[in-house]
Chain A
Amino acid sequence: MTISLSDRAFRAIVIQAVVVALVAAAGWYLVANTLRNLDLRGIATGFGFLWREAGLPIAESPIAYAPTDNYGRALLIGVLNTLKVAAIGVVLATLLGTAIGIARLSKNWLLCRLSAIYVEFLRDLPLLLQLLFWYTLLQILPGPRGALQPLPGVYLSNRGLLFPSLVWEGAHLAILGLAALGLLLTIVYRRIARAAQLRDGRHRPVWPAACLLMLAAPAIAWAALGRPAEIDVPTLQGFNFHGGVLVSPEFFALLFGLVTYTAAFIAEIVRAGILAVSPGQWEAARALGLPTGLILGKIVLPQALRVIVPPLTSQYLNLTKNSSLAVAIGYQDIVSVANTALNQTGQAIEGIAIIMAVYLSISLSISLFMNWFDRRTTLKGR
């Protein structure tokens, strides 16, 4: 074999070697510059700072935290706060988005137009602008004394949203455990019922067993345990509220903004998904005499899901990434905490590397999970 540049395989190797060498050289140049600059400015490197005292206050945290704790714990709380807003946001955005997407296809002209206007407005404005707008709106609300009361016991003021909560007792945990066990048993029962139906063709409804296992059993247990239900209702004392659960204005504005914004995109995805199911499916189901709810649930949605899931995944990822805008309104997510940490320690590279690593792992986990879900729902070809 002669080696010459006109040989395709050899040329490919040369091109790749040159490109890789160029990229490596550029990377090496940047790293060398960075090391020299860090040295000149006397900035420490490495992740040792994670074990140093942070001294940064965090307003809301799902686990115990004091400013005397170390940076590692502060960053962990940032991650938990990000996950919290993303998880709640994904669920609420899916519900709202699906509702609006279906409303968009409604035969009622007013409902259809209104949801179209919603989608158009929310999609065409920057999310950051929307977040700042909601946050500003919350700030000009009256104080606790003049708080709005949208529902009895629920108060909305410039301190945030307050609602009644259940006083948590050990008995509740047992009841919750029982309900979870009920869910598990229901799933097992459903499998058995399905298998039996495949054998003799007789349909066995699952819902009576489900009601019994998941609702009735925990309810009986609750009654047997002496009906523990002390509700903590927020009450105004002096200038502030006591009791209840407080949702901070920062969290509320961020969640509200993320959910309403993402719901607009999800609505379009759901609409496109439902439209992608051919009208023949509707007609065939109607000819069988199925009611609309059953057609939607058993025939149209399962087929629409195949079209909906992939773009929905990217919306979930977008919502998670967009939650990083929290830094602009002062909700302490990972970006906000890491940003403060890097300003305090000067270790910018490590701080940003942590932010990126967190988001990359969240993105990767969501897409792995959704790929698995997608594989389960795709049509199995024969």
Chain B
Amino acid sequence: MPIHLSWVRANLFSSWLSTAVTLLLAYLIARGLIAMLDWSIVKAVWSVPGGDTEICRALRGSGACWAVVGTKYRFILFGAYPYDEQWRPAVCIALFVALYALSANRALWRRELVLVWLAILGAIGVLMWGGVFGLVAVPQDRWGGLPVTLILATFGIALAFPIAILVALGRRSDMPAIRWLCIAYIELIRGVPLISLLFVASVIFPLFLPEGLELDKLLRAQIAIILFAAAYLAEVVRGGLQSLSDGQYEAADALGLGYWRKTSLVILPQALRQVIPPLVNTFIALFKDTSLVLIIGIFDLLSAAKTAIVEPAWQGFGVEVYLVVASIYFAFCFAMSRYSQALEGHLLRKTRR
């Protein structure tokens, strides 16, 4: 982009106030950038021979100790998953990314996409669990890191979606008992913080079950996340249902379609298309929210990062580790939020045309 003098004058120095703001900000940015580069590159320690962290300690915070990341990255990414089997969660991460990329493609928004989701999610389950096709079985309490975050978020949204559609339809139903049940469910879940639902999952769910039946902790947290996501998604779907004009409902009635045929053939295909951008936003929020499982002791990405710096030798280098984990979260969320914005623009143009 060629920068013209007139552009600079209009956008940076248009008035004395604007000039003052520009100069002040430029000064602060320059100082911040210099301090940042000094800490993260110039004075940073990139590796410690023999795992001796004294070199890092000697910096006293004046430089970053990236050696902690070099030493611990396998643990941060995969948690306590058996070291020799860590290619499996790595493949799972790749499968998740492929799944997102496929679903982002508008040309592939067909019913068959549901089958693709089922197939890939199934493959991920097989890879993580093992026990078949000659794969060593890995119990759930050894899973950890990024795959757990991706599993909680993706399975959460995928399994919450059908529930959300039913609840959203129920909330707009003309049967009072059903409508009130759905409203109670939505408001109850949305009125309390996710962490209280995770507490329910970790301490009350076991009490719900009959004697002798036990569920994994991860599975219990997953159920709580599904129920949580379903309430928020239901409101998103309801927005889509409300955006349709009454004419669509009346036309379907006039054709003599029954409730389910009207809903599945006329209403939902249009309503769901409308809600894809807010759906992506819900997914981003859920993706971030899965980090809360740290509090009930499940090893997701953030939890693994926090545990990585518990070892005495590496204590005090949390900032470095959190920055790396932050960049992973940011990469996923930023890509999705950009996609959602682009999609919103596209759908808006389509309806205007």
Contacts and interface: CB of A to CB of B under 8 A. Distances in A.
Contact of B192 (A33, A123, A129, A356): A356
B193 A335 contact: yes
18 contacts: A34-B204, A108-B11, A109-B11, A110-B25, A111-B22, A120-B337, A124-B329, A129-B291, A133-B318, A136-B319, A140-B61, A325-B195, A327-B195, A339-B199, A342-B203, A348-B207, A359-B191, A360-B192
Contact of B203 (A17, A114, A128, A348): A348
A307 to B, nearest CB: 16
Interface in A105-133: 106-111, 114, 120-121, 123-129, 132-133
B12 interface: yes
B204 A352 contact: yes
A363 interface: yes
Interface string B193-215: 11110011001101111110000
Contacts of A324: 193, 195-196
Given A125-B330, A322-B193, 17 more contacts: A12-B175, A19-B181, A34-B208, A36-B211, A40-B211, A106-B21, A111-B25, A114-B25, A124-B330, A124-B333, A132-B322, A133-B322, A136-B322, A140-B316, A327-B295, A352-B203, A359-B193
A259 interface: no
A16 B170 CA distance: 11
B137 to A, nearest CB: 29
A133 B325 CA distance: 11
Given A132-B302, A359-B193, A20 B292 contact: no
A129 B193 contact: no
A364 interface: yes
A107 B18 contact: yes
B334 A37 contact: no
Contacts of A17: 177
Interface in B158-217: 174-178, 181, 188, 190-196, 199-200, 203-204, 206-211
A127 B204 CA distance: 26
What 7 A-B pairs come out closest when comparing CB atoms? A124-B333, A136-B318, A109-B11, A16-B177, A321-B193, A126-B288, A324-B193
B326 A16 contact: no
- Interface hub of B181, B199, B206, B288 (most chain A Cβ within 10 A): B199
A349 to B, nearest CB: 6
Contacts of B11: 107-109
B294 interface: yes
Nearest to B302: A129
User: Which of A129, A356, A360 has most B Cβ within 10 Å?
Assistant: A129
B72 interface: no
Contacts of B193: 321-322, 324, 335, 359
A interface residue count range (under 10 / 10 to 19 / 20 to 34 / 35 or more): 35 or more
Nearest to A314: B190
B181 A328 contact: no
Nearest to B334: A124
B153 to A, nearest CB: 11
A326 to B, nearest CB: 10
B178 A359 contact: no
Given A16-B177, A110-B21, A359-B191, A328 B200 contact: no
Interface of B: 10-12, 14, 18, 21-22, 25-26, 29, 61, 174-178, 181, 188, 190-196, 199-200, 203-204, 206-211, 284, 288-289, 291-292, 294-295, 302, 306, 316, 318-319, 322-323, 325-326, 329-330, 333-334, 337
A17 B294 CA distance: 41
A255 interface: no
Given A12-B175, A110-B12, A359-B193, A126 B207 contact: no
A355 interface: yes
A355 to B, nearest CB: 5
Given A136-B322, A352-B200, A128 B207 contact: no
B337 A124 contact: yes
A359 B330 CA distance: 29
A12 B175 CA distance: 7
A139 B51 CA distance: 24
B204 A126 contact: no
A38 interface: yes
B222 to A, nearest CB: 18
Contacts of A19: 177-178, 181
A120 B334 contact: yes
Contacts of A123: 333, 337
Given A111-B25, A356-B196, A128 B291 contact: yes
Nearest to A103: B21
B21 A133 contact: no
Interface string A1-35: 00000000000100111011001000000100110
A272 to B, nearest CB: 13
A137 interface: yes
B18 A125 contact: no
A38 B322 contact: no
Contacts of B191: 359-360, 363-364
Contact of B181 (A23, A109, A129, A325): A23
Contacts of B210: 33
Contacts of A360: 188, 191-192
A33 B181 contact: no
A111 B26 CA distance: 10
Contacts of B306: 132
Contacts of A125: 288, 326, 329-330, 333
Given A15-B178, A123-B337, A33 B208 contact: yes
Contacts of B21: 106, 108, 110-111
B307 to A, nearest CB: 12
A12 B188 CA distance: 25
B329 A129 contact: yes
Most buried by B among A40, A127, A139, A356: A356
Nearest to B321: A136
